[in-house]
Amino acid sequence: MDFFEAQAHAKRRTTRLVELFVLAVLGLILAGYFAAVFGKSQLEGRGRRGRSFVEASGATPAELWQPGLLLAVTASTLAVVGLASLYKWGEFSGGGAAVAESVGARRIEPGSADGQERQLLNVVEEMSIAAGLPVPAVYVLDEEPGINAFAAGLTTSDAVVCVTRGTLAKLTRDELQGVIGHEFSHILNGDMRLNLRLTAIIFGILVLGLAGRGILWSLRGSRVSSSRDGKNSGGVLVAIGAVGGALLVLGYVGYFFGRLIQAAVSRQREFLADASAVQFTRNPGGIAGALKKIGGYALGSDVLGGGTAQLNHFFFAQGFRSNFGGAWATHPPLAERIRAIDPRWDGEMFDPPEVVDVERENFLEAGFAPTLPSRFGPLKPPPRRVPFRPAAVIASVGTLTEAHFADAQKLLAALPGPLRDAARDPARAPALVCALLLSDDPTQRENQLALVAQHAGAETTVALTALLQSTIDNLKSKIQNLSDSRLPLLQLALPALRTLDAAALDRFLATLDELVHADGVVTPFEFALQKMLARQLRLARTPDAASGDIQSFAALSGEIVVVLSALARAGARDESTATAAFTAGTAQLKFIESSLTLLAPTACGLARLDPALDKLATASPVIKQRLLVAAAQTIGADNTITNTEGELFRALAAALDLPVPPLGHAA
């Protein structure tokens, strides 16, 4: 299943989920209506014992149909469930960080001295670079000794990965990589947003039961007097108690069936995520070993914190002991998951050995430095034009392969330590990004540093920017082409940049804009850097802005022709090759192919491309998929890709919120 198919499958699952919950709410409305009819008849004094419902209620079949009462019950139920669900969804509107912090997780700072935490950050960074994703923020549940993890967020730009302390302490690097690969599958397959929707809807149904419990609790100290007035007050109290009891029963019955739906949906996805983790890492023993350790340790994957109960379906493994057998289990049994990965498994779980003290191991022994397969060889500077196969690029979207991992590991290993450390440090990341934009011309560089001093805040100092630039200059002397190294640096810097407050972030983005336009010429790299950072940081702040509403190719034809024309001209040697490249791209858009004409260079420059990408970001997933295919075909018309084409393609993918791995294996 490719990325686009996985996204479409997630959308279909969401539709089915909504249908199931609509049926559940309709059941609540009908049950509430008949309870209201019965309660109303009792208040009117017409009930008799030992009869059918119709007889006991004192109502004739015709009297059972009371449109006004049905409307009132329907409106009340929908209002309670809807408002409660919206309230819970509002709590999650802050994205993955809001979810992680709601359960008491602590964000791991990039400069952490904890060896286990550094290992986790290293694994997450490798996987992000390999997948072409913004590096998620990483959190840890310090008080949880069990082995578990989850991913949360509304988009790939606000996603977080959270693990328990037991996961860090008990898993090897390979096993940890298997668990993180499983969570990255949920990120890439669109499961995170579905998980949040499940949580919000179930909370809405549960609120009915909570309201009923609250009503009954409020009556616990009430007394009824023996006077005539006491009879009236007694009737009122009985009526209130009946309403509370009905809400309690209806709410918890609805919650019970809601949890059944939630568990069934969750179990379906776990086998796919396990298979994806094996595909990503090419190491079945990693995730299988983690599952066996869950089965071998006494605490297993239990999550003890009460605040995590609503997130049970998020986790890597079953986080709680179900009171209803397998009906409420959010994950398949461990044995089934292990057997699906390793059919020859002997049935033995892990036997816990003596604890290893990773703090006293060196960097390599602790597993922080990945062992690269020798067949991949040393990192070599790519030529100006490298082979490019569009079909391979499109197939790689949203996937992870062994080659992607090898590329990511080599890219990270090639980066000097000071640059990696700066990218991970919120105090230095803004300066690093500014340093990447400094010109090679000494005079122009002085002007840019003056702009940094004028516009940047304390978090971006001129001295630090200049120092990092010198490190970049040293790297240039060793690697002629930095295109493949600069983008990973940006990805590494994203978690740190997300921690900036709103004022500092706005100041930082304004400084970048000044640097980009300092010489009056915007290069493709400068454009791609600014577009990627602005888009992904904006989504991290307002994840709901990622929704796609435009369903018509024709409505976006003007923007599409700008993108394809810009790509066709970026790698063209002359007008004929630009025309051939443009034709290869438009052939993928049959609905509007005849209306698209190659634009003149002045009509598809970066100034026109910028607003075009902003509008295309609101396109539906189907349009985004076809546009990316058309863009890849445009670039690959001559079977090669240049640095400029690669940078523009990256900017397009970032604008469309599509994870594109490094293009080194596009051949």
Evaluate if residue 15 carries a pLDDT over 70: no
Q: What are phi and psi of 390, to 5 degrees?
A: -55, -40
Evaluate if residue 2 carries a pLDDT over 70: no
Q: Are 414 and 379 in contact (CB under 8 A)?
A: yes
Q: Which residues contact 102 (CB under 8 A, 6 or more apart)?
A: 91, 307
The band of 251, judged by pLDDT with boundaries at 50, 70 and 90, is low
Token pair 């034809």 is at which residue? 557
620-625 — which CB contacts under 8 Å span 24+ positions? 620/548, 620/549, 620/550, 620/551, 621/4, 621/7, 621/8, 621/11, 621/548, 622/551, 623/548, 623/550, 623/551, 623/553, 623/556, 624/548, 624/656, 624/657, 624/658, 625/4
* Measured distance CA(465)–CA(463) in Å, rounded: 5
* Measured distance CA(57)–CA(36) in Å, rounded: 11
Section 6-10 average pLDDT? 58
Residue pLDDT, tens place only, 611-626 = 999 899 888 888 998 9
Q: Who has greater pLDDT, 219 or 423?
A: 423
Token pair for 313: 């379906």
Residue pLDDT, tens place only, 136-173 = 999 999 888 889 999 999 888 889 999 999 999 999 99
The band of 387, judged by pLDDT with boundaries at 50, 70 and 90, is confident
Q: What are phi and psi of 152, to 5 degrees?
A: -145, 155
Residue pLDDT, tens place only, 47-102 = 444 444 445 444 555 467 778 888 888 888 888 888 888 888 888 878 888 889 88
Token pair for 314: 């998020």
* CA distances (Å), origin 157, targets 3, 482, 535, 579: 16, 24, 9, 35
Q: Which CATH class is domain 97-189+286-341?
A: alpha beta
* CA 530 remoteness from chain centre: 22
Residue 364 exposed, middle or buried by CB count within 10 Å (0-12, 13-18, 19+): exposed
* Measured distance CA(525)–CA(532) in Å, rounded: 10
Per the prediction, the chain carries an average pLDDT of 77
Active site residues: 183
The band of 568, judged by pLDDT with boundaries at 50, 70 and 90, is very high
For helices 483-498 and 643-655, the axis angle rounded to 10 degrees is 30
* Measured distance CA(413)–CA(133) in Å, rounded: 18
For helices 606-616 and 557-570, the axis angle rounded to 10 degrees is 130
Residue pLDDT, tens place only, 537-557 = 887 777 766 566 788 899 999
Domain boundaries along the sequence of the chain = 97-189+286-341, 415-521, 554-665
Q: Who has greater pLDDT, 16 or 317?
A: 317
How crowded is the C-beta side of 244, counted as CA atoms within 13 Å? 14
Evaluate if residue 651 carries a pLDDT over 80: yes
How much is the CA Rg of the chain, to the nearest whole Å? 29
Q: Who has greater pLDDT, 327 or 613?
A: 613
What strands lie across the sheet with 106-107, from one edge to the other?
Answer: 106-107, 137-141, 160-164, 149-152
